[in-house]
Homo-oligomer: A and B are copies of this chain.
Amino acid sequence: MASSHEERRITLEDVAREANVSTASVSRVVNNKGYVSEEVRNRVMAALVRTGYVINRQARGLASGKSQVIGLVVPELETSYFGEIIRGIDEELVAVGYDLMLYTTHHRKQRESAHVATLTAGLADGLLLVLPQDPGAYLESFRRRRFPYVLIDHGGIDETGPSVGATNLQGALDGTDYLIQLGHRRIGFITGKMHMGCAVDRLAGYRQALEAAGIPYDPELVLEGDFHQPLGYQQACRLLSLSHRPTAIFASNDAMGFGVMEAVRDSGLRIGHDISILGFDNVPAASMVHPPLTTVRQPLTEMGRAATRMLLQRIAAPDTPVERIDLPTELVVRESCRMIAGP
């Protein structure tokens, strides 16, 4: 037995009737656009309050062609990496009254494309793509339809679209350089997933720093990782078992850095004293582990903010010239790296 008081939705028409004006006028008041006399405005305002009207965004979206929603496509949410980016996005969006539609692809390309399709078909006014996996599939279509989008941490995948990233190469260069300053000459390096631009850039930074310091590149010291802790642990074990083992290990992200710490500890060596460890990202946990992990900070929240501002700008004016921003990384010195012990 349904309750007798099934409340009907309050529509613009109800408000119009209540205020004794047309729906057009109510709409003008609600959106604060177009000519409305002081008198009518007051009557409508009162009616709005009295009826408790709440706009139906779907209807407005359909009628106006603008949804005030932006879509966000991320590969996952497990790491705080994404949480921090989203925080930046959210901060900007709230300020302008946009809403956020969240899609997680779990690294499956097909889902990425499917999500992108519905989103761009009227659901969202613009798209933010974090770490896109398969952008080729739709970027061309965006451009053709002039659909606003911005890539975050694109990693050089799309060379022509608007994007926000970090100075991964410079960050890795700075980090490696720091280790060199501390006297290290044999520096192990664990890469990220090499199909991702940021992983490639970080490796490049490492190599450039070595080269600049005149240290020969030793392929034995560079192992491929996947940005996850377990593989960081394994690869660190391999590095530690080298006959001429490294005195420092640079992990391409913090998660793998934690794996390295574990491996070093398991092998009976002291972190910092015997082996220096450097991470990348500066996730919150980096300051919680012991010893606190020295790392290269990536300004994730700022990246989210910058990308959102860029997107909003492009929604307002789709012909804004394409911008590509790389925000600066920053070395965060903690306690996992030390001057190399005497020879």
Contact = CB atoms under 8 A, between A and B. Distances in A.
Interface of A: 2-3, 5-7, 9, 54-59, 61-62, 67, 69, 72, 76-80, 82-84, 86-87, 90, 94, 99-104, 111, 117-118, 120-123, 144-146, 229, 258, 261-262, 265, 284-285, 288-290, 319
B83 A144 contact: no
A9 B121 contact: yes
B146 A6 contact: yes
A25 to B, nearest CB: 20
11 contacts: A2-B146, A56-B62, A56-B122, A58-B123, A72-B102, A78-B284, A79-B83, A100-B102, A229-B288, A258-B288, A289-B289
B54 A118 contact: yes
A99 B103 contact: yes
Contact of A58 (B58, B229, B258, B290): B58
Contacts of A57: 118, 121-123
Nearest to A293: B288
A249 B86 CA distance: 34
Nearest to A147: B7
Counted per complex, copies of this chain come to 2
B7 A121 contact: no
A115 to B, nearest CB: 9
B86 A77 contact: yes
B67 A78 contact: no
Contacts of A121: 9, 54-57
Given A54-B121, A55-B121, 12 more contacts: A56-B123, A58-B61, A77-B84, A78-B80, A78-B83, A78-B84, A78-B87, A82-B83, A86-B102, A102-B102, A285-B285, A289-B289
A58 B146 contact: no
Nearest to A100: B102
A79 B216 CA distance: 42
Contacts of A2: 146, 319
B59 A122 contact: yes
